[in-house]
Structure 1
Amino acid sequence: MRTDPDLAADAARGSDTAFAELVRRHQARVRGMSRRLTGSASDGDDIAQATFLTAWQKIATYAGGTFSAWICMICYREFLQVRRRQRPEIELDETAEIIPFDRSVPDAGDKLDLSRALAKLPEAQRICVTLCVAAGLSHREAAEATGWPLGTIKSHVNRGVAALRKHLAADQVA
């Protein structure tokens, strides 16, 4: 079985089949990561597709190391680009009446699952838990992908995992 660096080198020389094998090996991880980052299957799939398109275009820049960390770094950057484009400009109407909305009351038939629990985490914790726990990157690889300090990654992962455990245990989710 050929290694990821060997396949990447062949793909950099133009081998479609080598790149297709890399996609086959890593698509589940990238897709899962992007879906967890966005909280949406369709948005996540769009980001995963953009990730592999970017990876194909930049395969010659892969300089070794774990291919999964390299592809997850691209996925995270694609997520950031999409998020930046989606941030709407909000104009506040000073005369508008504020109507309180209680989001804490769940619908009767709702079940809490991991996706919902992840969505309740602060964004930085959700990103770090997704990168390190769901995508399987090391803390160091997640720090490289995000540009955040290693200690920040570790604390966000620890706090995020603890919050998930607490939240899921409180709702008796297995």
Structure 2
Amino acid sequence: MSQLNDISLVAQVVVFKNTRAFDELVKKYQSPIRRFFLNLTCGDGELSDDLAQDTFVKAYTNIASFKNLSSFSTWLYRVAYNIFYDYIRSRKDTTDLETREIDAACSTEQENVGEKMDIYQSLKMLKEIERICITLFYMEDVSIDKIAGIVGCPTGTVKSHLSRGKDKLATYLKQNGYDGN
């Protein structure tokens, strides 16, 4: 039902230029897309907001290219993925993401600040593709098949990234006092 509603909203945007229909799509997906970026940027709230905004601007301007070959959410995550990679490629200092300090101002207002900081620190230990796969699968509940469509690689490769990423996260967290209980 949700997929059918998304397609109806997309059709209204494309055919009638209905901005209210697009607003509904933004309301539905802004939190998941922002959370996706928040995990990819290891807690940088401002950057996550900027990337999410860029994603919705690009989605709106290119919505006519949505061909319904996958769900709208998969298409939108693919747009977000491309926005993230455009951002990474455009940076001159490629070590910035690896050495970025966690945005303490945003984190202090949240519950379990220490645990969230540890999660962001552990995510920094992963390769970008592992971080993307882990974020989509475990934090956004996206299926392996959809992740494969988003990142453009076979499902077996996604499974490998998930396995390696999960092992690295487990090792890091065990070394930092989390014993799995």
Normalised TM-score (structure 2) = 0.77
Q: 1:1-20 to 2 correspondence within 5 Å? A: 3-13=5-15, 14-20=17-23
- Identical residues among aligned pairs (%): 32
Partner of 2:86: 81
Measure the CA separation in 1 of the matches of 2:143 and 2:78.
Answer: 12
How large is the RMSD of aligned CA atoms in angstroms?
A: 2.4
* Correspondence list, 1:1-174, <5 A: 3-13=5-15, 14-39=17-42, 40-64=44-68, 65-88=70-93, 111=114, 112-173=117-178
Structure 1, 142-151 or 49-58: larger mean CA deviation: 142-151
What are the ranges of 5 or more consecutive residues in structure 2 without an aligned counterpart? 100-112
Q: Deviations over 1:83-112 (max 9, x none)?
A: 1000349xxxxxxxxxxxxx9xxxxxx945
Q: How many residues align?
A: 156
User: Residue type matched to 1:54 in 2?
Assistant: K
In structure 2, give the amino acid aligned to 1:81.
D
Taking the aligned partners of 2:59 and 2:84, their CA distance within structure 1 comes to 14
1:123 deviation in Å? Answer: 2.1
Deviation (angstroms), 1:172: 2.9
1:115 is matched by which residue type in structure 2? Y
Map of 1:97 onto structure 2: none
State the distance in 1 between where 2:25 and 2:135 align.
21
- TM-score for both structures, normalised by structure 1: 0.80
Q: Which deviates the most, 3-12 or 156-165?
A: 156-165
User: Radius of gyration: which is bigger?
Assistant: 1
Structure 1: segments with no counterpart, 5+ residues: 90-102, 104-109
Q: Deviations over 1:3-59 (max 9, x none)?
A: 111111111121111100000000111001112112221111111000000010111
Amino acid aligned to 1:125: E
Task: Name the structure where helix makes up a greater proportion of residues.
Answer: 2
